Amino acid sequence: MRHSLPTIPQFYVTAPQPCPYLAGRMERKLFTALQGDQAEAMNDTLSKQGFRRSQNVLYRPSCADCCACLSARIRVADFKPSRSQRRVMRRNAHLQRHVTSAWATEDQFDLFRRYLDSRHADGGMADMDVFEFAAMVEETPVRTRVLEYLEPKAGSGRGALRAVCLTDVLDDGLSLVYSFFDPEKAGDSLGTYMILDQVALAQKLGLPYVYLGYWVPGSPKMDYKARFAALEVFHQDNWQPLQAPEHYSGTTHPLSVKPIAEQVASLAMPETLSAPVAPGRMQRDP
């Protein structure tokens, strides 16, 4: 007997857990599976509505009484690097970009472990082993590329791996899924350099946006994203130019977030898919 995957996307919500960005708050995510022939169309469409991909799942923050997390992207045509960003570009201009398919290597995992141990030893990914790392890189149903940044080496052979970026290719841009770098080279601002290089790559490909993930006003971990020119955020169901952090409400209120069913019903879907469904077993809103 032949079975086919459902064509109508179903959405779920996670149980609340401590927020990794703002102390004293609880986070909750709205998510759906990314699978089947429509995976790329779903990734393209929902990324434009503030969703992010993690392996074969698309998710968006949907906290019960907080809406601080805002999806951010750079308008490539309007981007102008700052003076300090131009210095970062010159400092790292010697690095060689090597683009591969979504395939994990031992070199990547070694760099990933050193990065986590140095900068995120108490984070949610701190215990990831080589198999979980491989799943993060390789379990993707969409167009995903691994961009490696290598030190040049005289003669033949592979240079030292300094940074890695896992990137999705969307129909309107590049989406940075996850990046990490050599902690011994932290002074070279490799995280900033990878974003600048993705902007340059998007320009060459004629893609209008580079998606950076979430920006959270009031979170020191996310301050660096606001330093990029031509940044816009997905706020109140629309993309709009980034304003001063105080413009975005950081206060919690039980009426600040739409009910889950209303959020799901308002989502735009690819034309080839039916309307999304919020299953009955979804956690009830407070």
Model confidence at 245: pLDDT above 80: no
Strand partners, 26: 18
Cβ burial, residue 254 (10 Å; 0-12/13-18/19+): exposed
Model confidence at 133: pLDDT above 60: yes
Domain borders along the chain are 1-68+249-286, 73-238
- pTM for the structure as a whole: 0.90
Which 3 state secondary structure label does DSSP give 89? helix
Q: How far is CA 134 from the centre of its chain?
A: 17
Element (H, E) at 214: strand 209-215
Which long-range CB contacts under 8 A does 192-196 form with residues at least 24 apart? 192/85, 192/88, 192/224, 192/227, 193/88, 193/89, 193/91, 193/92, 193/95, 193/149, 193/163, 194/147, 194/149, 194/163, 194/165, 195/74, 195/228, 196/81, 196/85, 196/88, 196/89
Highest mean pLDDT among 122-126, 164-168, 276-280: 164-168
Q: What percent of the chain has pLDDT over 90?
A: 63
The C-alpha atoms of residue 110 and residue 171 are separated, in whole angstroms, by 32
Determine the pLDDT at residue 284.
Answer: 39
Residue 84: partners with Cβ closer than 8 Å, 6 or more residues away: none
CATH architecture, domain defined by 73-238: 3-Layer(aba) Sandwich (3.40)
Tokens of 203: 């320009």
Determine the pLDDT at residue 126.
Answer: 73
The C-alpha atoms of residue 97 and residue 161 are separated, in whole angstroms, by 10
| Predicted confidence band of residue 125 (pLDDT cuts 50, 70, 90) | confident
The 10 Å Cβ neighbour count of residue 43 is: 26
Nearest to 19 by CA among 212, 219, 177, 179: 219
What angle (nearest 5°) sits at the alpha carbon of residue 129, between those of residues 125 and 135?
Answer: 85
Helix axes 190-205 and 83-91, enclosed angle (nearest 10): 90
| Predicted confidence band of residue 53 (pLDDT cuts 50, 70, 90) | very high
Determine the pLDDT at residue 234.
Answer: 95
Q: Tell me whether strands 70-75 and 231-235 are parallel, antiparallel or unpaired.
A: antiparallel
Model confidence at 6: pLDDT above 80: no
Q: What percent of the chain has pLDDT over 70?
A: 88
Tokens of 218: 């009031």
Mean pLDDT check: name the lowest of 109-113, 164-168, 232-236.
232-236
Strand partners, 165: 147, 179
Higher pLDDT, 8 or 103: 103
Model confidence at 215: pLDDT above 70: yes
| Predicted confidence band of residue 23 (pLDDT cuts 50, 70, 90) | confident
Higher pLDDT, 273 or 189: 189
